Chain A
Amino acid sequence: MVQICIIYDKIRFEEKTLFRKIEEKGLLSNLIDGKSLTFDTNSRKDDFQLGDIILQREVSHTRGLHITACLESLGLNVVNTFSVNEVCGNKLLTSLALVKYNVPTPHTSFAFSSESANRLMESLNFPLVVKPVVGSWGRGVYQINDKRAAEIWIDSREEIGSPFSRIYYIQERIDRPPRDIRCIVVGESIVASVYRHAAENEWITNVAMGGKTEEGPMNSELQEITLKAAEAVGNGILGIDLMEDKERGYLVHEINNTVEFRGASLVSKNDIAGSMVDYLVSECRK
């Protein structure tokens, strides 16, 4: 019987639902706290009784990435793979992957020092949207309306000790309805499409920021762009976020590698967690 291991560092709605779905399907489950794991250069696959396939669900991107590297080096099958985690966990790498695969995405500029960020932002048209390259839930995402606000944002980044704060990710602001679309992709299928509406007096649509969900569209254009975006980062279990530009149509702006689906599950008719478990079973039989 297939055993599915979920590596977590915090049990959220998603991990709980996936765990119950594994049990419901009569499969073996193994819940492992990633914070409890240790490895060394002599570690072997047989030292770990984890299961036939591992679902990486760490909320900490850095920890998840490093644990995945250790697990893969032992020859264990991890979803999502290290490569997918690395690209999706970093917005700059995601943007580059999308461009490489000709996936429509907002125009985005990058700078690597406060001086070059100032010069760059002066040359762009305000308003702009700035985002941290690593991080999620809408934290640190701001709309910058003018040069003065840009200077303040750049100065504030200097105060942060993290090396990621010296990577400046600056995006055009898309003229869009106050919503975006989250498509949950499992393998080569879209299992859910939901609109995420920004909360009142808020422009960010993340559910973590109070955004509300509603069943989303599922047309051929959306399917094509979404699946191409998934392919661009290496496929797996992904949350593809798209905006609707009034002139250019769908633009992919983010891809999540440990996708949260609580909001989507409230409005989707599909069994999102069940599809994920079925995919894991099919992957470990390959």
Chain B
Amino acid sequence: MHLLYQIFIDPFVQMGTAPDLFVQTLWEGLVTGVLYSLIALGFVLIFKASGVFNFAQGIMVVFAALALVGFYEHGVPAYLALGLTIVLMLILAVAVERLILRPLVNQPEIILFMATFGLTYFLIGFGELIFGGDPKVMISGALGLPSGSYQIKTLGGFVQMQKIDIAAAIIASLMVASLGVFFQKTRIGRALRAVADSHRAALSVGISLEQIWVIVWFAAGIVALATGIMWGARSNVSFALEIIALKALPVLILGGFTSIPGAIVGGIIIGLGEKIGEFYWGPLFGSGIEDWLAYVIALVFLLFRPQGLFGERIIERI
């Protein structure tokens, strides 16, 4: 009886009695969610255009962030370092297309998936060789990102908002909006969607697969860079960040592997779920549920809507 009370009633009583804490938790969940969305977005871009689940998206985040800090540490001014990192991501996209995708064209998807594993470990090794294995501090100050926080007096208490989190939310929204316009309204966006639907039909109207792949990997690289900056500004930039790639999985299951809005909504649901779960139900399970709650949410979701919130319904003809 007491356990049932603790699970079903007590958390809601707490939410009611300390609304400021509840709002604070919501805000933190939202910010984490936005970052998850960004990571998931990188996956969706590549998955849409080439049907490859890019395991290397996580390491691309780390690689981009490390490169940015690395350039800066070598005396390159912050904004120039940002530009150089963008160029580096373009080079990476071209290299991936030339050396991995092109030779493996028409191979089963699992082969391409394994190839992205290879890419991941190559980037880890290569990154450590160049940048060293030590955690680094993101140059958020030099990039003009705000620090400090706002304290809002409300609901009989305080809600604290880090300025960097607000910036992250704004940048993420802008990024998502421009990607949306890009996909829906431009010739290249249309070509991207076409490639996602049918390779041979895309080829027959003269869309070059090679060019499209470079573009999506580059776009995913830019998204990775943005994620790296935002995530790095909250903690450190280290190779440990690489496992956040795994956090994108539940987000993708929720949102659908091919849907940009899905990635956003899925990320936010997972972020909110994690924070609220951790704060209100965590003590029951001895805390630490943040690490696995996302997967449980995804699992439950899989039972009811295997195609994800916004994914296309899978109807197969038998």
A and B form one complex: no
Q: Which residues of B contact A (CB under 8 A)?
A: none
